[in-house]
A and B are shown apart, each in its own frame.
Chain A
Amino acid sequence: MTATPLRPDALASGDVAEITRNDASLRRFLHGLPGVDQVGAEARAAGLGTRSIKTTAKAYALDLAIRMVDLTTLEGADTPGKVRALASKAMRPDPADPDCPAAAAVCVYPDMVGIAKETLGDSGVKVAAVATAFPSGRAAMDIKLADTKDAVEAGADEIDMVIDRGAFLSGRYLQVFEEIAQVRDACGSAHLKVIFETGELQTYDNVRRISWLAMMAGAHFIKTSTGKVQPAATLPVTLVMLEAVRDWRDATGQMIGVKPAGGIRTAKDAIKYLVMVNEIAGPGWLDPDWFRFGASTLLNDLLMQRTKMATGRYSGPDYFTLD
């Protein structure tokens, strides 16, 4: 503990270089972060989940959640047709209501970036591409970088990279740090989201450590999961990540985004996340620039609830597009 070079409450830019000087000092820093008590973190997340969001607050939350969706398709069976359909949906989620806001982005594999970009045009909806040998991250570094550059050259606005969980779990923190930093360089002007696959990291202590590691390495966004591993996003994992970005801003003045992904399927769940963003990170994060949902089926439930708010009636699932 005493060897911890710095407390995380006051980080200057030179300090990151000092912390990441070698594996030992990075390890000291990450292991010097305050622990996370599992029972307490889960109780806090559950407590926030009991907030009752009604009427005007619900209408606000539903529209905001729609604007935060990264509409995702990451299947071996993806085709240009499927991606075009998804991109159209992202631009105009509810064909019956032109006032319905657009989603934040579509999230696809790198080879589909061009197709998505072509459909989205200058609509303002971003294209996010998963890269770095998604979802396992098991490839040589030059391949991961080539994967990233390929997506950026095809026009991706955002890159969702995966970390090397094996390296992290075996304690090679500096390797993880350097990989993130290199991918960030390869991103150029594209924004970088760093996927932790928290279902594989398991402990909340690990989630807090990787959050700090990724923020120091230059992530624009930190993201829970690929959606390919269970459990994917959970409220307590997102809580720990929101605490990390809040503390990072306190220490550096810089804001980092958070993206829970996988397993968020209902409007009710999405609203619980927004309550958590509001009360843990703060209202500053209630914006698609700083919080996203990685999801596919969530959008239709948000639309159904939105229509219900407007009309007072539930309409059937057939009134919303399946893509």
Chain B
Amino acid sequence: MTFEYAPAPESRSIVDIKASYGLFINGEFVDGHGSSFKTISPSTEEVLAEVAEANEADVDAAVKAARRAYTRVWSKLPGSERAKYLYRIARIIQERGRELAVLESIDNGKPIKETRDVDVPIAAAHFFYYAGWADKLEYSGYGQTPLGVAGQIIPWNFPLLMLAWKIAPALACGNTVVLKPAETTPLTALLFAEICQQADLPPGVVNIVTGAGDTGAALVEHPDVDKVAFTGSTGVGKAIARSVAGSGKLVTLELGGKAANIVFDDAPIDQAVEGIVTGIFFNQGHVCCAGSRLLVQESVAEEVLERLKRRVSSLRIGDPLDKNTDIGAINSAAQLGRIKALADIGEAEGAGRWSPPCDLPTQGFWFPPTIFTGVSQAHRIAREEIFGPVLSVLTFRTPSEAVEKANNTPYGLSAGVWTDKGSRILKIANELRAGVVWANTFNKFDPTSPFGGYKESGYGREGGRHGLAGYLKGGNN
């Protein structure tokens, strides 16, 4: 007999998913004037709810509500009063943590283990952290004057967490917001709207408009929006930058990445293997800062790969609500298609493709953890962001070659360095052109730490004191 873990599903009964959702404007749910769309569970393709698609008129109503709340209420409140609301929201997120975790897992496809231990606690932590700043802005270095109305567009990979990254600093600084969640994952944002009601947040301070690209474009182009904050693909980021050029709107962009995870021969090998796994297979690789390029020193490449394959073979893929699931579903059919296409290109270009033997569910969108060996800088899988559980392995001989290869990308969001030698960590970290460099760890997030990119990975920082700059006049001189 072997140690087979019996199914350990988290109960869905804690969440109450409504049949349909309207838009959250001026503190209440209202019907949209546009059409609607369905959000589905990517692990089963079950339709979860019908969600309103905000049209230009709806976006205009939301921006007007935000402007009114900004002028009449929110910008006039002392920081200490704004902080009370943010603390209250943070506590409600914790209290309703299981509900949020289950809902996020169902709507996004990511494992409950991650929503429970990462997404929800860090989302609450962001509200706690920026609540603390609200009455101390005179020490921020960016003054205390808010920008006004922020239009915020977030991606589907960390729906609630990205909402927290956007809303918490904006509100702490005295701005009001209109936020558009991604069209495949609107449900936790709509639950967050209920939390705003529960916290008695003044109407119009937070408005949530659901929809796809057209809704986002209407928000970005709205003349009364003072600031646009976007997290998503580099392509859309460029389009946003073009569309707001000359309008006087301030913009922060957090875009794609193709991070190098560099393993030197003196690295703590077992922990490096763990870090490689966390780097690329956390959240099915739907992570802009994922360590999607493994750069491993040639002298230990074989050993590292052998250990990596053994470790990846032990990952548990399946029902996102099972507490023992390590890898959940791909978020959408479209994303699955893109991952499959790039993986096939990798194979066609001659890289060695490997996946552990695993039974994927027949319903839903699934892709096995995949490792490509023998990848060179010229391969497309070494250059393009796949945004899926696909790792490209390259080797290097010397530290300078490692840095050169790591920096040889149009992106620059994150990087990882693995070595037992402290002096090497400091030297390499200084030479890497990436906004975040992790040393002997990967994919660690904390509200006190600024996050953001170089080059085509975007501009502006989120998190930490630096995250205030994007929402204060003094941070944008």
Residue numbers of A with Cβ under 8 A of B are 1, 7, 9, 34-37, 39-41, 43-44, 50-58, 60-61, 64, 243, 274-275, 278-279, 283, 286
Contacts and interface: CB of A to CB of B under 8 A. Distances in A.
30 contacts: A34-B266, A34-B267, A34-B268, A35-B266, A35-B420, A36-B268, A36-B270, A36-B271, A37-B440, A40-B275, A40-B440, A41-B270, A41-B271, A51-B324, A52-B5, A52-B323, A52-B324, A54-B6, A54-B8, A55-B6, A56-B6, A57-B3, A57-B6, A60-B3, A61-B3, A278-B3, A279-B314, A283-B3, A286-B2, A286-B3
A64 B1 CA distance: 11
A167 B271 CA distance: 29
Contacts of B441: 39-40
9 A-B pairs with least C-beta separation: A40-B271, A52-B8, A52-B323, A37-B268, A37-B271, A34-B269, A57-B6, A35-B420, A55-B6
Contacts, number: 73
B274 interface: yes
B320 to A, nearest CB: 14
B113 interface: yes
Nearest to A250: B306
Contacts of B268: 34-37, 40
B431 interface: no
Contact of A44 (B5, B8, B274, B323): B274
Contacts of A56: 4, 6
Per DSSP, are chain A's interface residues mostly helix, strand or loop, or mixed?
helix
A265 B475 CA distance: 55
Interface of B: 1-8, 113, 117, 266-271, 274-275, 303, 314, 323-324, 420, 440-441
Given A40-B271, A44-B271, A58 B6 contact: yes
Contact of B2 (A37, A50, A283): A283
A2 to B, nearest CB: 11
Contacts of B324: 51-52
Contacts of A243: 270
A287 B268 CA distance: 29
B266 A40 contact: no
A192 to B, nearest CB: 26
Contacts of B267: 34-35
Q: Which of B7, B268, B270, B274 has the most CB of A within 10 A?
A: B270
B11 to A, nearest CB: 12
Contacts of B314: 279
B5 A53 contact: yes
Contacts of B1: 60
Contact of B4 (A41, A52, A57): A57
B190 to A, nearest CB: 29
A99 to B, nearest CB: 15
Contacts of A50: 113, 117, 323
A133 to B, nearest CB: 34
A37 B274 CA distance: 11
A56 to B, nearest CB: 5
Contacts of B274: 40, 43-44
Given A40-B274, A275-B3, 18 more contacts: A34-B266, A34-B270, A35-B268, A36-B268, A37-B268, A37-B271, A37-B440, A40-B440, A41-B271, A44-B271, A50-B117, A50-B323, A52-B324, A53-B6, A53-B8, A54-B7, A286-B2, A286-B3
A57 B322 CA distance: 14
B398 to A, nearest CB: 15
Contacts of B2: 283, 286
A92 to B, nearest CB: 22
B4 A39 contact: no
Contacts of A60: 1, 3-4
A243 B274 CA distance: 13
A170 B435 CA distance: 43
Contacts of A39: 271, 440-441
Contacts of B5: 51-53, 57
B41 to A, nearest CB: 21
A223 to B, nearest CB: 21
Nearest to B271: A40
B128 to A, nearest CB: 22
Contacts of B113: 50
Nearest to B5: A57
A212 B8 CA distance: 37
B279 to A, nearest CB: 12
Nearest to B418: A37
A36 B4 CA distance: 29
